């Protein structure tokens, strides 16, 4: 390693002189210091290129709001499912309970975490793996496969069957206390094992801990219903569904979605993930008996093609992206042309890395899940602009929805979930039969969608 070079007074004088030599730097300083970087970098012509009409569009119900929680992946998943209920029964709108899967996800993640602690008793406490497990044992985030596991095991319920509580609307306190409990539980398990407690007694201790987690969750979220009554009326106020259901019966009857037919596709153009192969992420999941996640890595153009095919068939598309990048949040626009940060600073900041480099160097990963519900196409059938159903309420963005330019899709969309019927025979065979390549727990493809 070369001898470290300090920042010298001469370096600072040179930088100061260079800054004041260009009038644009002074203008940028005055603007940014007054209104902030993104407001100053806003490009009105880029904003104007985001219309409100779409060539292909799925009509959804009223906008949902995850409020101050990181449940975007749940809301996105439920929004793809409630669409089926709205269409099947000709409803004006409908919402599935978001507190219900939150309860079971916290319980299952707690069990998953404690099982991982038991599986890593021989690992050093300060090693990378155990430190990673302890960093965020039971956060709000998740992925499609994790939600699929919850629904297959626990079903779904209408929102009125398990409404929101203070702790589901704002999960910060719940997450904080549950995380503290689980770290304490990890300490007890590791210390018990070090003291010679056998595997059977450790498993019994873990079961007691899961029972305590259940008690904590019921206190915060209420108890999930075992059965509930349903009365649905269509747009003409005719009664179209009524009866008493279990959560699994209701999902099968009202949603009727073949969950195993839906395939998560990623597009990660990094050297360690050749296209056309299947991947999983070590130690990522929630429902122990259902395993973890499974992705097929394909070129970005294939993700677009299959998403458009599903939209053409009047079905929304779950997708995951890095929502904070080049995003005008108040205006609901994800568009690389709507912000020009590099011109503002006079050198490459946003443009200093391509998609692969951002993944490799920790600059970008999936942070948020939403639903594609429309797309505009050019004369050659290529996408130019996508319509997005977010989960930040009716007052957010553009009349309650966002727009996403195709150029932004190229840079920051990492995953879509589509019916496997849209895959080629070769792609489908690879997803179903290939032994997945295992990625490290901290791989960017293992990130959890949790933006709020």
Q: Active-site positions?
A: 72, 368, 390
Answer yes or no: are the C-beta atoms of 179 and 137 closer than 8 Å.
Answer: yes
Distance CA 334, CA 316 (A): 19
Q: What is the DSSP letter of 423?
A: S
CA-based nearest residue to 69, from 163, 166, 169:
169
Distance in angstroms between the alpha carbons of the first and the last residue of the chain:
42
DSSP string, 217-266: HHHHH-PPPSSEEEEEE-TT--EEEEEEE-HHHHIIIII---GGGEEEEE
Tokens 């295992």, residue? 438
Which residues lie closer than 8 Å to 2 by C-beta, 6 or more apart? Answer: none
**3-class SS of residue 280:** strand
Q: Give the distance, in angstroms, between the CA of residue 356 and the centroid of all CA atoms in the same chain.
A: 20
Query: Over 113-172, what HEC string results?
Result: HHHHHHHCCCCCCCCHHHHHHHHCCCCCCECHHHHHHHHHHHCCCEHHHCCCCHHHHECH
């Amino acid at each position: 390693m070369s001898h470290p070079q300090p920042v010298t007074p001469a370096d600072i004088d040179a930088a100061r002189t260079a800054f004041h030599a260009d009038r644009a730097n002074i203008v940028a300083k005055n603007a940014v210091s007054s209104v902030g970087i993104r407001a100053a970098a806003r490009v009105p012509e880029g904003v104007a290129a985001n219309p409100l009409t779409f060539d292909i569009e799925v009509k959804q119900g009223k906008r949902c709001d995850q409020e101050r929680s990181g449940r975007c992946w749940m809301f996105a998943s439920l929004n793809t499912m409630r669409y089926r209920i709205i269409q099947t029964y000709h409803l004006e709108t409908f919402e599935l309970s978001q507190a219900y899967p939150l309860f079971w996800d916290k319980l299952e993640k707690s069990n998953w975490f404690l099982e991982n602690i038991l599986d890593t008793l021989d690992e050093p406490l300060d090693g990378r793996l155990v430190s990673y497990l302890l960093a965020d044992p039971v956060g709000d985030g998740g992925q499609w496969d994790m939600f699929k596991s919850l629904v297959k095991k626990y079903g779904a319920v209408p929102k009125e069957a398990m409404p929101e509580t203070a702790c589901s609307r704002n999960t910060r306190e719940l997450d904080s206390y549950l995380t503290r409990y689980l770290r304490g539980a990890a300490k007890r398990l590791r210390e018990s094992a070090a003291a010679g407690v056998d595997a059977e007694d450790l498993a019994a201790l873990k079961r007691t801990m899961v029972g305590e987690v259940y008690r904590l969750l019921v206190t915060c979220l209420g108890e999930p219903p075992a059965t509930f009554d349903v009365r649905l009326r269509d747009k003409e106020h005719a009664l179209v569904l009524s009866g008493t259901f279990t959560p699994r019966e209701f999902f099968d009857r009202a949603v009727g979605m073949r969950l195993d037919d839906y395939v998560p596709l990623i597009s990660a153009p990094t050297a360690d993930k050749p296209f056309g192969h299947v991947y999983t992420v070590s130690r990522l999941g929630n429902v122990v008996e259902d395993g973890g996640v499974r992705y097929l890595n394909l070129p970005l153009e294939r993700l677009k093609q299959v998403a458009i095919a599903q939209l053409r068939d009047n079905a929304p598309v779950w997708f995951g992206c890095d929502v904070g990048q080049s995003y005008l949040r108040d205006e609901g626009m994800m568009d690389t042309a709507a912000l020009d940060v590099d011109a503002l600073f006079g050198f490459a900041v946003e443009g200093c890395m391509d998609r692969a480099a951002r993944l490799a160097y920790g600059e970008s990963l999936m942070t948020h899940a939403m639903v594609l519900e429309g797309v505009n196409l050019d004369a050659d059938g290529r996408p130019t602009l996508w319509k997005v159903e977010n989960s930040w309420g009716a007052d957010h963005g553009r009349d309650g929805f966002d727009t996403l330019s195709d150029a932004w899709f190229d840079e920051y969309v990492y995953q879509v979930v589509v019916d496997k019927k849209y895959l080629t025979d070769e792609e489908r065979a690879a997803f179903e039969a290939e032994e997945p390549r295992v990625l490290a727990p901290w791989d960017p493809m293992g990130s959890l969608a949790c933006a709020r």
